[in-house]
Amino acid sequence: MNYKFPENFLWGSAASGPQSEGRIHGDLKGESIWDYWYEEEPEKFFNKVGPEKASQVYTKYKEDIQLMKKTGHNSFRTSIQWSRLIPDGVGAVNPEAVAFYNSYIDELLSNDIEPLINLYHFDMPKSLQEQGGWMSRQTVDAYVRYAKICFELFGDRVKKWFTHNEPIVPVEGGYLYQFHYPNEVNLKKAVQVGFHENLASAQAIKIYHEMELDGEIGIILNLTPSYPRDDSNPEDVKAAAIADAFFNRSFLDPAVKGTFPEELVEIIKELDILPKMEVEDLLTIQENTVDLLGINYYQPRRIKAKETPIADINHPMPDDYFDNYDMPNKKMNPYRGWEIYEKGIYDILTNTRENYGNIKCYISENGMGVEGEERFINKDGQIEDDYRIAFVKDHLRYVHQAIQEGANCIGYHMWTCMDNWSWTNAYKNRYGFIAVNLEQDGQRTIKKSGYWFNEVSEKNGFN
């Protein structure tokens, strides 16, 4: 079968500033929570590799953009680092950062690669975190100022903006499940953080539209479909709906519909942990929805009715309302410990078509992290990552089917362009079309999947 994609389909990959840029002496970047956490507890990071190493994009971006061309990119998403542009989060703009981002954007454009720019990718400036981070209303104000500065500096050339990448992750990682700084377990704080992120996004969208810039603004959400263990068991179905409300609809509904899911609001009211807000906040969220939705998809969530006792120690938690279901015989990525379920990407696109007004969207991340890829180097020094080609192809088939059925999906970006630094996992799992050799000054080599993706992009599809 020939899988042909719509005209002007976006082919490319995604990355982020904190995971790829690195730091060099004299770049005047301020500290983010990741720089700080690494300094405090380097042993928490795989092989003690910190964000200052990253993939040296700060100095190698021109070379990297030539490699993007060779791997079929007509578009590329990355993020501006708040702590690079405004080192303390609130004060003066760093001229070195302005020069870097201007040059990076211009270089992409002059090579016919459209830049898609995200404003926040988990990298809170340290000085703002010290004052509460997303717990604090001042952070919302500081973020909106930062967003406006970005629109003023780069909005003449960047036509697709995003307010947040995966805003549920600072909620889950920082305030529920302890895999991001500040590593707390507190549902009341998690709710406040999520509300402030939603509000900050809506306010940034409002400002962008008021500036009448010639472009679109959206949000990027990691949508993880919640499947009940047994469709015919009402308790399983209800549990899956609650998990979906906590982890998907908590951002998807306000971003696209301007409202919060009723199931979630009921639970939060019952627990008496409603967020602090000002009178006009809900109206701001209601009136400033997204133009464009980025969808990150890696794995499904399997859910069953609550069977285990509620843990007293951390109560309340989302997990008080459901249990995760370990489905037998599921296909797994053993390195990441994640289920591979290609149809999930189709189910998400069908859901946005049927229940979210067929919002204009694109697949902003989808990818496969593999540990020890050097095992697959051939005699010519190239990594033969056939497993990644199969992974992308199998997902693209379902994207194609959803588009055939009317989903308003305009592109596909893989995570990631070149192997990059993945938070506490550092470089444990490699995701890129392009290998990065940390031992040899970040030397780049295109993997087999990169050459394959170039063919897909050139043909705007595959057989």
Name the 3-class secondary structure at 171.
helix
Residues 395-444 pLDDT 10s: 999 999 999 999 999 999 999 999 999 999 999 999 999 999 999 999 99
- Residues facing 161 on adjacent strands: 117, 217
**pLDDT above 90 (res 59):** yes
pTM: 0.98
Q: How confident is the model at residue 79 (pLDDT cuts 50, 70, 90)?
A: very high
**Cβ atoms 153, 197 nearer than 8 A:** no
- Distance (Å, rounded) from C-alpha 429 to C-alpha 370? 5
Q: How confident is the model at residue 244 (pLDDT cuts 50, 70, 90)?
A: very high
- What residues does each domain of the chain span? 3-462
Mean pLDDT of the chain: 97
Predicted local confidence at residue 371, as pLDDT? 96
Determine if residue 201 is left, alpha or beta; phi over 0 gives left, psi from -120 to 50 gives alpha, anything else beta. alpha
Interval 267-277 mean pLDDT? 98
CA distances from 42 to 34, 212, 380, 419 (A): 10, 45, 35, 20
Please identify which of the residues 31, 114, 172, 365 carries the catalytic annotation.
365
**pLDDT above 90 (res 53):** no
**pLDDT above 90 (res 302):** yes
Predicted local confidence at residue 189, as pLDDT? 98
Q: How confident is the model at residue 311 (pLDDT cuts 50, 70, 90)?
A: confident
Residues 153-192 pLDDT 10s: 999 999 999 999 999 999 999 999 999 999 999 999 999 9
Interval 278-290 mean pLDDT? 98
Active-site residue, 7 included: no
Of the chain, the percentage scoring pLDDT greater than 70 comes to 100
Interval 117-135 mean pLDDT? 98
Alpha helix positions (H), 7-160 = 17-20, 33-40, 57-70, 82-85, 95-110, 126-129, 137-154
Q: Do strands 461-462 and 443-446 pair parallel, antiparallel, or not at all (unpaired)?
A: unpaired
Name the 3-class secondary structure at 97.
helix
Predicted local confidence at residue 275, as pLDDT? 98
**What are the residues whose beta carbons fall under 8 Å from the beta carbon of 375, sequence distance 6 or more?**
none
Q: Of the candidates 81, 116, 78, 75, which has an alpha carbon nearest to the alpha carbon of residue 98?
A: 81
Q: How confident is the model at residue 312 (pLDDT cuts 50, 70, 90)?
A: confident
Radius of gyration of the chain (CA): 21
Q: Which two tokens stand for residue 387?
A: 């497993």
Residues 200-243 pLDDT 10s: 999 999 999 999 999 999 999 999 999 999 999 999 999 999 99
**pLDDT above 90 (res 133):** yes
Instruction: Quickly name the fold that domain 3-462 has.
Output: TIM Barrel (3.20.20)
Count of residues in the chain: 463
- Distance (Å, rounded) from C-alpha 20 to C-alpha 418? 9
- Distance (Å, rounded) from C-alpha 228 to C-alpha 244? 10
Interval 96-113 mean pLDDT? 98
Identity of the residue numbered 35: D
Alpha helix positions (H), 182-317 = 187-210, 234-244, 250-256, 262-270, 281-287
